[in-house]
Amino acid sequence: MIYKYNDIKTLHLEVTDKCNAACPMCARNINGGEDNPQLPEVELTRSDVEVMFPVEFVKQLDRMYMCGNYGDPIAAKDTLEIFQYFRDHNPKMTLSLHTNGSAKTTEWWTKLANVLGPKGYVVFSVDGLADTNHLYRQNTVFSKIMTNAQAFINAGGRARWDYIVFAHNEHQVAEAEALATSMKFEKFQFKKSARFFSNASGVTKEMHQAANRKGMTTLLQPPLILSIETAHYKNSVRLPVLKMKLSSCLVK
Ligand SMILES: C[S@@+](CC[C@H](N)C(=O)[O-])C[C@H]1O[C@@H](n2cnc3c(N)ncnc32)[C@H](O)[C@@H]1O
Ligand code: SF4
């Protein structure tokens, strides 16, 4: 479908292809090791955005979100200033970002909460707890993520915790949800990854060969116990249903 300029209401802005993390199934790197050589490693400044999206265009939007395919918005210098530009010219639109949460200062996160306001939110992609999150979210520091998320929430920011379930973290889903509740995240959402799939052969893979920047390799696996349950509730927040089904599954 081809949209007319005036019909555009939602903008997905990839502010950078840079990232502080190295997730093994992310297209920005080769299985979590070397960076994808095709990436230019660039970022947009507030001035770039002002030229690309003039004030009249910002005014017509319902929503702008920063997620991206190759980078994390917290790896760019002007992310806060760019959100400020959109908010200044459109107080009603929804603003959001998806992030690993492991960069910037608590002051930055406090300011972000104020700029986004009640019509904005942050999705923290955190796949585990202190001893497991970094197994997929390589190079991130769990304590820093929690400190940043708490600063954002304490400043009035609305936060959601997205948790990709793997074999190495499936035993911690309920504990992570309890932590999310105690920190006052608005939502906790678990997801099963669709990336255990080989495009070359068109079949589901049992494992994914991961690497890190030191050249060490590990094997990632999809969830084992939860596999049937999470398939049904992919991208949902129905954890109580999951717990119920899981316990009935275990007693059989
Ligand atoms: C490239 S990331 C960019 C946003 C941000 N850096 C982040 O990770 O949230 C885009 C989305 O891909 C998701 N993602 C990363 N690895 C994934 C995987 N193995 N399966 C499914 N989604 C994945 C992230 O959680 C995020 O929602
Ligand atoms: S945090 Fe996001 S952008 Fe960064 S490597 Fe992981 S999935 Fe990719």
C-alpha 207 – ligand 2 centre gap (Å): 19
Among protein residues, the one whose CA lies closest to atom 23 of ligand 1: 193
Pairing mode of beta strands 217-220, 94-99: unpaired
Among protein residues, the one whose CA lies closest to atom 7 of ligand 2: 26
Which protein residues touch ligand 2 with a CB less than 6 Å away? 19, 21-23, 26, 28, 71-72, 100
Two tokens, residue 185: 């995240």
Q: Give the whole-angstrom CA distance, residue 178 versus residue 182.
A: 6
C-alpha 235 – ligand 1 centre gap (Å): 13
Name the pLDDT band for 245 (thresholds 50, 70, 90).
very low
Report yes or no: 226 and 165 within 8 Å, Cβ to Cβ.
yes
Name the pLDDT band for 229 (thresholds 50, 70, 90).
low
Two tokens, residue 106: 């608590």
Q: What would the pLDDT profile of 67-125 be if each residue is shown by its tens digit?
A: 999 999 999 999 999 999 999 999 999 999 999 999 999 999 999 999 999 999 999 99
Q: Decide if pLDDT at 142 tops 60.
A: yes
Residue 121's contacts (CB-CB under 8 Å, 6 or more residues apart) are 94, 96, 157, 158, 159, 160, 186
Atom in ligand 2 nearest the alpha carbon of residue 27 = 8
Which ligand sits nearest to residue 122's alpha carbon? 1
Which ligand sits nearest to residue 164's alpha carbon? 1
CATH number at residue 70: 3.20.20.70
Which ligand sits nearest to residue 127's alpha carbon? 1
Q: What would the pLDDT profile of 20-76 be if each residue is shown by its tens digit?
A: 999 999 999 999 999 999 999 999 999 999 999 999 999 999 999 999 999 999 999
Q: Give the whole-angstrom CA distance, residue 162 versus residue 190.
A: 6
Range of the domain at 207: 5-251
CA 167 to mean position of chain CA atoms: 19
Number of domains within the chain: 1
Q: Which residues pair with 194 in a beta bridge?
A: none
CA angle 31, 28, 201 (to 5 degrees): 50
Among protein residues, the one whose CA lies closest to atom 5 of ligand 1: 99
> Which is more confidently placed, 226 or 196?
196
C-alpha 252 – ligand 1 centre gap (Å): 35
**Mean pLDDT value across residues 132-150:** 98
Buried-exposed string 201-214: b where 16+ CB fall within 10 A, e elsewhere? eeeeeeebebbbee
Among protein residues, the one whose CA lies closest to atom 14 of ligand 1: 26
pLDDT of residue 238: 38
Atom in ligand 2 nearest the alpha carbon of residue 29 = 5
